[in-house]
Structure 1
Amino acid sequence: MLHMNIIDPVSKVSIDDHPEPEKLNTGRAARVKAVCDEFDIEIIPGNDYPKPGQVRATATIDRIMAKYGEGHMRLVLSTLSETKGNHGLMTQTSLWATSDLIRACQEWVDADVSSWLAAWDQIPMGFLLWHCNELSGISHQRHALAGAMYVMLVHYSRGRKAGKDIDYSFMRRIQKAEGMPSPRETNQQEAIALGLEFIRVKESLPAGEWLPWLRDNAGVSYATALKYMSLARSVAA
């Protein structure tokens, strides 16, 4: 069957990446309806455009539940239906992308679901869907949307990330390519700056007052202060 890329005439957003099956069997349809009812989500016919609180991508919900379980599907629907502006954008693409991100960030979701939902409150889903549609036919909409949303989640959550080990060698290559100092270089620069400040303060204080000042104000040990001062002198020499 020929599939047309359906565009919402109001939002200009691609609704589907590929066709939904015509109809679920009675048991599967009942299971989808039950989980949607938990979040007051109304299921509408496939030829209607969803309004806030409505969904027509029932086959997608069924597939996600079959693959990852009802608990996972509840998290997907909760994330979309209970966050700002997203309850009107429960499409095939957004459901799959949200599912992908929950799986990627499962540790974050389990540890602090409130901050997870708070970060989603900041995501302009419609804006992202609209721009991802510009890649239709070139890049899979689900993956494009998930990538765009992930960048925004990391930004708005102030650094919460997917539960995957960081590839520090890759990060160093990026830093080198972009001319960014490495953490080691940054630490050394900070140590030099502190060393110069310690030298300045010591020279400005009367004899015998620098050690009390260091103890009360510096937040580092005497040995560390001497190390920083020595490093600063070696650079200045």
Structure 2
Amino acid sequence: MTDAHIAAICAEYGIRIVGKSDRLSVKETRATACLRRIYEMHGEGHFRLVLSTVAETENNAGRLHDSLLYAVSDLVLANRELIEDDASRWLAVFDRCEVGQIQWEARGADAIMSRRHYIAAGIFRHVYREFGDRAIEPDLFDDERVA
């Protein structure tokens, strides 16, 4: 596996790898080491599922930093059975999730935990609401609309 192979797979999902000094645009990332590590540790199938989750959902394509990619990888590992049962529902959760807001909040939590884990926990809250044991009958305060 080479960086060129990783870049080719990323390109299949519309993701472009840019240099460290380049300004990021939508569907661009500088996280080559992160991408390589995810691929090497978990294989191509897992790697593609992570890319699919971030690239094919509305709220994630512009925010492809290493902390998000690792967080999504962690979530995919922990929820593989849910994804295999209903991949479209998995992606729908990510469509509704305000990933950018979670990433922004993670910056303020650096003294408490890693951004990767903060982001994973923030996204998991949405996954749990969709797939968890309370998904059929949500909590009274689950409605997060703002007046």
Contact kept in structure 1, 2:59 and 2:96, CA below 8 Å = no
The correspondence of residues 102-117 of structure 1 with structure 2, limited to 5 A, is 102-117=76-91
Contact kept in structure 1, 2:26 and 2:61, CA below 8 Å = yes
CA deviation after TM superposition for structure 1 residue 148, in Å: 1.0
Structure 2-normalised TM-score? 0.86
Q: How many residues align?
A: 133
CA distance in 2, matches of 1:117, 1:138: 29
The counterpart of 1:33, out of the listed 7, 12, 18, is 7
The counterpart of 2:50, out of the listed 76, 85, 91, is 76
The counterpart of 2:33, out of the listed 52, 55, 59, is 59
CA deviation after TM superposition for structure 1 residue 85, in Å: 2.0
The correspondence of residues 1-237 of structure 1 with structure 2, limited to 5 A, is 28-155=2-129, 157=130, 160-161=131-132
Which SS does the other structure have where 2:2 is aligned? helix
Structure 1-normalised TM-score? 0.54
1:56-85 residue CA offsets vs partner (Å, 9 max, x unmatched):
101100000000001101110100011012
1:5-62 residue CA offsets vs partner (Å, 9 max, x unmatched):
xxxxxxxxxxxxxxxxxxxxxx521121121011121111112232111111011000
Structure 2 partner of 1:9: none
Listed as ranges, the gaps of 5+ residues in structure 2 are: 134-147
CA deviation after TM superposition for structure 1 residue 154, in Å: 1.8
Contact kept in structure 2, 1:123 and 1:153, CA below 8 Å = no
RMSD: 1.3
Structure number with greater Rg is 1
CA deviation after TM superposition for structure 1 residue 121, in Å: 0.4
Listed as ranges, the gaps of 5+ residues in structure 1 are: 1-26, 167-237
CA distance in 2, matches of 1:117, 1:141: 22
CA distance in 2, matches of 1:60, 1:149: 19
CA distance in 2, matches of 1:142, 1:78: 18
Q: Report the residue type matching 1:127 in the other structure.
A: Q
Contact kept in structure 1, 2:59 and 2:94, CA below 8 Å = no
Following TM superposition, where does structure 1 have runs of at least 4 consecutive aligned residues deviating by more than 2 angstroms? none
CA distance in 2, matches of 1:54, 1:41: 6
